[in-house]
A and B are shown apart, each in its own frame.
Chain A
Amino acid sequence: MSVRTVSQMFAATAGLALVAAVAARAQDAPGGVTTVQVSDEGREVYEQICQACHMADARGGGGAGAAIPALADNPKLAEKDYPIMLLLKGRGGMPWFTDMLTPEQMAAVLTYVRGHFNAYPDPVTVADITRVSTAPPPVRECDTCGK
């Protein structure tokens, strides 16, 4: 599996981001650091990450005013920059995934979601991800959730 997340990509160029991410994460652990790996394959990234909220059938759930959006048959995904932006920046309750997924994994999972649950077969590439990620990724403050 590839190990360079977008934060690390930026750290290599910007120097600072990675240091900050590590410092902020010091408390964000059950006490220790896990070595959980995420697949590089689009469908598996979906199952290991996205499915937690968007469900196995990508239909989301919940009720009005407390909903998780469906990814299946979602016309907002026609434009690929939109879901790329969501993975890079987060939106509403959804966090950014720059500190969890590599650009390769983002491209793979977006290609899968747009192609498999929707009828947008043109692949999302790493070049697309880099093109959209113009700002340094967010660095999360520590919290106690992961821990």
Chain B
Amino acid sequence: MLSDMSPRSRRQLLSMIGKAGGGLAMYQAMTVFGHAAETRFTGPPQLTGARKGSTVLVLGAGLAGMLAAHELTKAGYKVQVLEFQDRPGGRNYSVRGGDKIVEVGGAVQNVGYAPGNYLNPGPWRIPHHHRTLLHYTKAFGVELEPFIQLNHNTLVHRKDAFGGKPQRYRELSVDFKGHVAELLGKSLNAGALDSSVTREDKEKLIDAMRQWGVLDGDMKFTGDLRVSAQRGYDKAPGGGVGGAPTPSKINSLSDVLSSQVWSQIGFFFSYVMQTTMFQPKGGMDMIGKGFYRQVGKMVRLNTKVTRIAQDDKGVTANWTDTVTGQSGESKADWMVCTIPATILSQIDIQVSDTKKAALKALPYSNSVKIGLEMKRRFWEEDYSIYGGHSFTDQAIGLVSYPNNNFFQDGPAVLLGAFAGRAGGYQFAGMTPEQRIQTALDMGSVFHPAEYRKEFRTGASVAWSRMPWILGCCASWTEQSREDHYDNLVAMDGRIVLAGEHASYYGCWMEGALLSSLDAIKRLHQRALAA
């Protein structure tokens, strides 16, 4: 019966159930239809009936803070937001020409990108199942475009594979598949797996290996024209005289194994990394700006909170204006605090010892991104690479090509490093100029003739040196979740914490938003009960 329903009538039924049974019933119904297991988001929270004159102080104008401000205002609260930086958005950030990047330690970069170009130093890709984020981007008029996550024509480089010469992902992945299929076919035919598979399944598997691996009649992966139809030709098919293609030569099993291409294949299987992915047109900070259009009037920028107190009547935040040096105090009935744990654990805050312990037990990972502006799109013009990532085992991790403005003349910014862990620390410890030079050296393996020649200007963001966060994202472990997570997220008197760090969806914008929605629902309940 269900299968007869058109998508449209399903939606009507769902909205009926939603009206009759509320969000939870709707969620359960959707799950039955196989629509919603992917998200905890059941729509905006629809909070109503705040007590007249109730006030909320929100600390931090990242996505978690601004969403709290937006929804609590809709519920009838009077909200004020205090933000350390001179811009809203927090980690939702884009760097453009004319911007200044100031690091702890004093390094200053004046970004020289051409107009319209940008680097997304933090978030850069949005999975199709991050429904909360997608809901609000649509609601706030933020236009999204495809993020080219998987591009078969990009390159894979490992220092000790193929003599250090990068190979096309397409060729390596097809060859890996072909060799694995041939080997599995061999073991099946030799009866080596007879105790593991039924006769029937064995036949199906052999058939599958032949088709999937593009094996020949002898179950061998040889690299005939059918294989070239996947991995590309030596001479591509042409028209007219001499139009016949010639096949390309496959790589040996050992060579393919040395490339470790399975690590990229596996990466693309990750649920959060699967296509379709999106990015905002014009830079990731278009999302922060979209939120700011809703709540901008409530936000006090350049306001660094230094102390947080509460009693049975309300909350107080002491702050310093980072421009004038003036200090001040803001009061409200309730507080949503989204300041990252790296900073909050250093602030005098009046909460339980268990919450303080949780904040102190939450280290942050590190990351460095470098945007290199090139005079022209040589990766498109000379390599037929349109978006996507070339991978390397060097500290830069990858080179990622812009996903927008294809075929345009003029300068474009590519991501010249996404360095984490040891490589991230190595880059962060360098001067901004050294970072650029090192990234140019490493990235040159992919485009040796063009990389330095076409380079115009670069900028880097070393997250461990950003004064308002001192890190990238919260690093939880199974043990710290068990010891501290509940204590971290529990409402403490009049204060509730929210943000990426207060979620099980760490280091995604979706996690920051889900945490915020959960926090304000609990705050609203407590406020109505008080």
Interface residues of A (CB under 8 A from B): 26-38, 47-53, 55-56, 61-68, 90-96, 100, 138-141, 143-147
Contact = CB atoms under 8 A, between A and B. Distances in A.
A48 B429 contact: yes
A34 B304 contact: no
A31 B342 contact: no
B173 interface: no
B425 interface: yes
Contacts of A143: 365, 472-475, 506-507
B328 interface: no
The residue in A27, A66, A138 that gathers the most chain B C-beta atoms within 10 A of its C-beta is A66
A14 B367 CA distance: 30
A30 B418 contact: yes
Interface string B423-447: 1111111000000000000000000
Interface string B332-345: 00000000011101
B425 to A, nearest CB: 4
A136 to B, nearest CB: 9
A63 B104 CA distance: 9
Given A145-B367, A145-B472, 4 more contacts: A31-B263, A38-B422, A91-B363, A92-B363
A34 B393 contact: yes
Contact of A47 (B429, B465, B472, B479): B429
A116 to B, nearest CB: 16
Interface in B441-483: 462-465, 467-468, 470-481
Contact of B480 (A36, A49, A66, A138): A138
Contacts of A147: 397, 418, 420
Given A92-B346, A92-B360, A100 B422 contact: yes
A95 B365 contact: yes
A32 B421 contact: no
A144 B397 CA distance: 13
Contacts of A53: 366, 428, 464-465, 470
The residue in B104, B264, B478 that gathers the most chain A C-beta atoms within 10 A of its C-beta is B104
B102 to A, nearest CB: 11
B77 to A, nearest CB: 27
Contacts of A56: 429
A79 B467 CA distance: 29
Interface stretch (B138-146, B268-276, B278-286): B268-276
A97 B420 CA distance: 13
A96 B476 CA distance: 11
Contacts of A37: 422
A139 B478 contact: yes
B263 A32 contact: yes
A141 B475 contact: yes
A31 B268 contact: yes
A55 B104 CA distance: 9
B292 interface: no
Interface in B58-92: 84
Contact of A95 (B264, B364, B392, B418): B364
Given A52-B429, A143-B475, A93 B104 contact: no
Q: What secondary structure prevails in chain A residues at the interface with B? A: loop
B392 to A, nearest CB: 8
A65 B317 CA distance: 13
Contacts of B96: none
A68 B367 contact: no
A52 B428 contact: yes
B266 interface: yes
Contacts of A93: 341-342, 345, 362-364, 470-471
Given A52-B429, A62-B104, A67-B346, A144 B391 contact: no
Interface in B363-383: 363-367
B488 interface: no
Nearest to B343: A66
A66 B467 contact: yes
Contacts of A48: 422, 425-426, 429
B221 interface: no
B34 interface: no
Nearest to B393: A35
B240 interface: no
A32 B507 CA distance: 19
Nearest to A55: B105
Contacts of B268: 31
Contacts of B420: 28-30, 145-147
A124 B84 CA distance: 40
Contacts of A140: 365, 475-477
Interface in B137-159: 156, 158-159
* A-B interface, 7 closest residue pairs, ranked by CB to CB distance from nearest: A146-B420, A93-B342, A30-B397, A52-B428, A51-B429, A95-B363, A31-B267
A48 B306 CA distance: 32
B391 A30 contact: yes
21 contacts: A26-B270, A29-B397, A30-B418, A32-B391, A32-B398, A35-B158, A51-B429, A52-B366, A52-B465, A53-B465, A55-B104, A55-B105, A65-B343, A65-B347, A93-B363, A94-B363, A95-B364, A138-B479, A139-B477, A143-B507, A147-B397
